Structure 1
């Protein structure tokens, strides 16, 4: 067993995942179109590497992510892996295109997506429809984890309707764990205090680039026994490649953040550590972080992610990152006892 396929229990839930999970964003065609064959091969490679935690959402590729993930997993025993998807977004052919399906330049986030539109719906009926439709696209009979998807402008509605619906499904043992996946911590803290989530998927907000989650979010989750999965550890690609065209938070990266990413890369290079390895492993230093979730669009990418997740990193790297004020001085690191 290696670091990436180490089994980890998600907080107080009965769900056990691998420390490294596979997200279906990239095989859904985010930024660049991916063929059905490449997507299938990528999922099969993830399985061969020992990954047993797979996450999707209706919005990923406007259905492509779930369809392709389902096809890739179809030949494997359902009890041998954990499957997560999200609620709050329905896909409808007769609805106008939603602006959130496009980046700040007007370019669609997902290349090759079907001609359907995302419709936001956090009602109880919307949650039930979302899960039913996800199961159809995934070609399976159950989800292990159901997450409320990015309810940034719908926090009150999510608390009033979406979370109670998910709690009901958990009580009925339709799903084993519930929570929310977001790119911010303020709303997640409110969910932690005002509802009963098992886990959060925090995308892009606890990485080598930013550690504001240390202030209150991660301590609150630790106090309440809420597991946290770190997604977006490359900050939309900036920590994977800070070259021309680099993205941050799904949009073109500003020059100051590109410069900071290059500083991080240069320091890592002094220790003969790829920046991507440090980015993948850094979140696991915090006791509230249970797993890291990454997307990959090819066999080569997911193999590289698993290899870098396992790569030994000298403690001196983390010390130097703090000494040069590139990460927070109080950030726990994988080298800490």
Structure 2
């Protein structure tokens, strides 16, 4: 199976990406990352951030703290800012929280975590939810936390009021809800229409465009920020492009690697506020961050990109 690691190891263009942006241009002060505004506040966030599921969570569980320390420090240095985690990602939140305290960068990051205690009889225990939320504060050592979302639509009737209360008390800046499960899409749409949400988080990739049908236009209509998850289809897209060269016309929007191609597609939808691809590898992070600079594909290029990927075997 093709992976991101094999693409970066086997292609010379990845080395070009590392030298291009953000290290060189940022250091020279000649470039700024693309940003999008949070509709509720107008605060602008860099379009490319960092997630902590998948390989990041695996590294946290395996004790590879040096690698995670490096990517978190680089994220802060680059101005990438947005870091997405969850108590449900194994050791990821606890390890990342300890590392950002050690590095002294907690206040330089837009810290996005989640709340979802295991329900009993279909309902979440409110006291257990409050304890989980308190644990998130202890892990990162930051108050207020920038964003807490109800993870995977976990009993919004119980957990969303707890987040609203914490926001009212000044402990949380933004609240929201997430899902990457098709069985929960209808519930998320309903929540976007009926509840006051600052953010949603959901999956969106060039070969996974379900979010375009409802979530993204509804977010634009209702002033809800969007965190885009799984922009590489987890590892699915790497398998689809295995053995295929990046098309020359990708240079029209500044993509030098397949990773940048995929991320720039997601970033080019105006309703996407930030994208949080997960990684534990500095080379991957650098490649991801480079996608947050320069031009984005227009509507015609987006259609061309879709046609290219849709024509490849799944």
* Fold match (TM-score > 0.5): yes
* Bin of the TM-score, shorter chain as denominator length: 0.7 to 0.9
Q: Evaluate the alpha carbon distance shift between residue 32 and residue 238 of structure 1 in structure 2; reply closer, same or farther with a 3 A threshold.
A: farther
Find the partner of 1:46 among 75, 90, 93: 75
Deviations 1:87-138 (CA, angstroms, capped at 9, x unpaired): 0137xxxxxxxxxxxxxxxxxxxxxxxxxxxxx9734323311111112222
Find the partner of 1:231 among 229, 241, 263: 229
Q: Evaluate the alpha carbon distance shift between residue 132 and residue 314 of structure 1 in structure 2; reply closer, same or farther with a 3 A threshold.
A: closer
Number of equivalent positions: 270
Q: Counterparts of 1:214-293 in structure 2 under 5 Å? A: 214-239=212-237, 241-242=238-239, 261-262=240-241, 266=244, 268-271=246-249, 273-293=256-276
Find the partner of 2:116 among 81, 88, 96: 88
The answer to whether the aligner puts 1:320 opposite 2:299 as a matched pair is: no
Shift of 1:79: 3.6
Whether the 8 Å contact between 1:3 and 1:19 is mirrored in structure 2 is no
Q: Which has the higher contact order (CA 8 A, sep 6+)?
A: 2
- Structure 2 residue aligned with 1:70: 97
- Structure 2 residue aligned with 1:131: 133
The answer to whether the aligner puts 1:57 opposite 2:86 as a matched pair is: yes
SS at match of 2:234: helix
Whether the 8 Å contact between 1:3 and 1:309 is mirrored in structure 2 is no
Q: Distance in 1 between matches of 2:279 and 2:75?
A: 9
Structure 2 spans left out of the alignment, 5+ residues: 1-25, 251-255
Q: Distance in 2 between matches of 1:82 and 1:314?
A: 26
Q: State the superposition RMSD in angstroms.
A: 3.1
Whether the 8 Å contact between 2:76 and 2:108 is mirrored in structure 1 is no
- Structure 2 residue aligned with 1:109: none
Q: Evaluate the alpha carbon distance shift between residue 59 and residue 200 of structure 1 in structure 2; reply closer, same or farther with a 3 A threshold.
A: same
More helix, by proportion? 2
Q: Distance in 2 between matches of 1:48 and 1:325?
A: 33
The answer to whether the aligner puts 1:304 opposite 2:306 as a matched pair is: no
Q: Distance in 2 between matches of 1:220 and 1:313?
A: 22
The answer to whether the aligner puts 1:189 opposite 2:189 as a matched pair is: yes
Whether the 8 Å contact between 2:60 and 2:68 is mirrored in structure 1 is no
Whether the 8 Å contact between 2:59 and 2:280 is mirrored in structure 1 is no
SS at match of 1:296: coil
Shift of 1:209: 0.7
TM-score normalised by structure 1 residue count: 0.70
Q: Distance in 1 between matches of 2:171 and 2:297?
A: 44
Find the partner of 1:177 among 169, 174, 177: 174
SS at match of 1:193: helix
Moved more, 8-17 or 191-200: 8-17
Deviations 1:255-287 (CA, angstroms, capped at 9, x unpaired): xxxxxx339x84743535532112111122222
- Structure 1 residue aligned with 2:16: none
Q: Evaluate the alpha carbon distance shift between residue 122 and residue 11 of structure 1 in structure 2; reply closer, same or farther with a 3 A threshold.
A: farther
